[in-house]
Amino acid sequence: MKTNPNIWPQIQKGNQKAFEQLFLQLYEPLIIFAAKYHNDYEDQREVVQEVFADLWCKREQTHIQSSLKAYLYRAVRNKCLNNIKHLQVRANHAAEVIHTSPIGKSNEELEAKELQAKIQETLDGMPERTQEVFRLSREQGLKYKEIAELLEITVKGVEFQMGKALKTLRLELSEYLPVLILYMYSAL
């Protein structure tokens, strides 16, 4: 499916019909493309919608060197990868806070033990490969490339499994967010 080469100059001038045409033409294919990075349909939709929103908001400042279609695919890929990195940073920080926070009071100690048990329970409920990738990354500090070589899978496979693990942890530990926030601020 080829996009009209004249559509980008029209969009840059604020032509909403041209933008809608582009959106309708590439929205579903970009969601399918985002599925390579996010296995959740809502995440895929959110990424693609953000890319289109950014394109519209920054249309006057955006200079596209390649084709508009290639630009959008690259933008979706980059946003997906940034989301994955962001989730990893948050998970790393939360894990670090849990392990390094000063726990003085028995109530805090109990909450930390409960949280640690919930993390362990969540990890134990994940598929074996997902657990393995997560533990190699977080507990042994291996890089994705090292994990891929060790497990004889692709780096993309490692990224997929880590994304799956982090999403599961985020969903399962959402009720513990207040505890994590308290630990973050008490560590400052």
CB–CB of 38/80 below 8 Å? yes
- Confidence band of 186 (pLDDT split at 50, 70, 90): very low
Number of helical H runs and strand E runs in the chain: 9, 0
The CA radius of gyration of the chain, in Å to the nearest whole number, is 21
Distance CA 84, CA 86 (A): 5
DSSP per-residue letters across 17-51: HHHHHHHHHHHHHHHHHHTTT---HHHHHHHHHHH
Mean pLDDT of 44-67: 89
Between these two residues, 187 and 143, which has the higher pLDDT value? 143
The pLDDT of 99-114, averaged and rounded, is: 60
Judge whether 7-82 and 101-186 match in fold. no
What is the DSSP code (8-state) at residue 152?
Answer: T
In the predicted model, what is the mean pLDDT of residues 75-84?
A: 87
DSSP class of 126: S
Mean of pLDDT over the chain:
81
Residues 6+ away with beta carbon under 8 Å from 64:
8, 71
Residue by residue, DSSP assigns 67-111 as -HHHHHHHHHHHHHHHHHHHHHHHHHHHHHHHHHS---SHHHHHH
Domain 7-82 belongs to what topology? Answer: Rna Polymerase Sigma Factor; Chain: A (1.10.1740)
pLDDT at residue 103 above 50?
A: no
CATH number of 101-186: 1.10.10.10
Residue spans per domain, the chain: 7-82, 101-186
pLDDT digits (tens, 9 = 90+) for 122-164: 888 899 999 899 889 888 888 989 999 999 999 999 999 988 8
pTM listed for this prediction: 0.49
- Nearest-angstrom CA–CA distance, 163 and 22: 30
pLDDT band at 2 (very low <50, low <70, confident <90, very high): low
